[in-house]
């Protein structure tokens, strides 16, 4: 895998969803948005993606207005188009049409060429008992690590 500089991570997505598949997608951004993204002004909390008219759009992805952008700044919450191959979009349409699957952005990063990329996951929502089970496993692993460290 090529080198990448992580800009933002959606930790809540892995907590709330079972990740079925992951896709790498480019993001269509304006000039001030990419400058703000490079400065780390992006938030993926509560963001999701939809397929509309054979295009994948990501909603609720907040990119802060660029400080020196003045009138060129756009709405921070505007839907952003994702760049995927047509066969990938068709596959996503098929997967999302299944009950309970959704498209969730996992992280935003810059690849080694300086292009903004987004990791998009096809995910299934976790129930409350699944979340509790994950927390119990994590606590048990920590407890074992602590006891091994003491000995």
- Note the pLDDT tens digit of each residue in 57-84: 999 988 888 777 777 777 778 899 999 9
Domain boundaries, the chain: 4-150
Using CA atoms, how far apart are residues 139 and 133, in angstroms rounded to an integer?
10
- Mention every residue, 6+ apart, whose C-beta is less than 8 A from residue 51: 57, 89, 92, 93, 96, 103
Confidence of residue 87 (pLDDT cuts 50, 70, 90): very high
Across the chain, mean pLDDT equals: 86
Stated pTM of the model: 0.76
pLDDT in tens, 27-53: 998 888 888 888 888 888 888 899 989
Q: Measured between alpha carbons, how far is 86 from 95 in angstroms, rounded to an integer?
A: 14
Question: What CATH number does the domain located at 4-150 have?
Answer: 2.40.280.10
Question: Hey, what are 148's tokens?
Answer: 């091994």
């Amino acid at each position: 895998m090529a080198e990448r500089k992580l800009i933002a991570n959606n930790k809540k997505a892995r907590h709330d969803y079972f990740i079925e598949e992951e896709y790498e997608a480019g993001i269509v951004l304006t000039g001030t948005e990419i400058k703000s993204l490079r400065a780390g002004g992006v938030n993926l909390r509560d963001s999701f993606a939809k397929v509309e008219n054979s295009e994948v759009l990501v909603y609720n992805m907040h990119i802060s207005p660029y400080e020196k952008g003045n009138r060129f700044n756009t709405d921070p919450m505007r839907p952003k188009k994702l760049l995927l191959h047509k066969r990938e979009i068709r596959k996503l349409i098929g997967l999302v049409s299944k009950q309970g699957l959704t498209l969730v952005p996992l992280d935003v990063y810059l690849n080694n060429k300086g292009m903004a990329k987004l990791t998009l996951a096809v995910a299934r929502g976790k129930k409350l008992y699944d979340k509790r089970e994950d927390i119990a496993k994590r606590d048990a692993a920590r407890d074992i690590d602590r006891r091994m460290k003491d000995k």
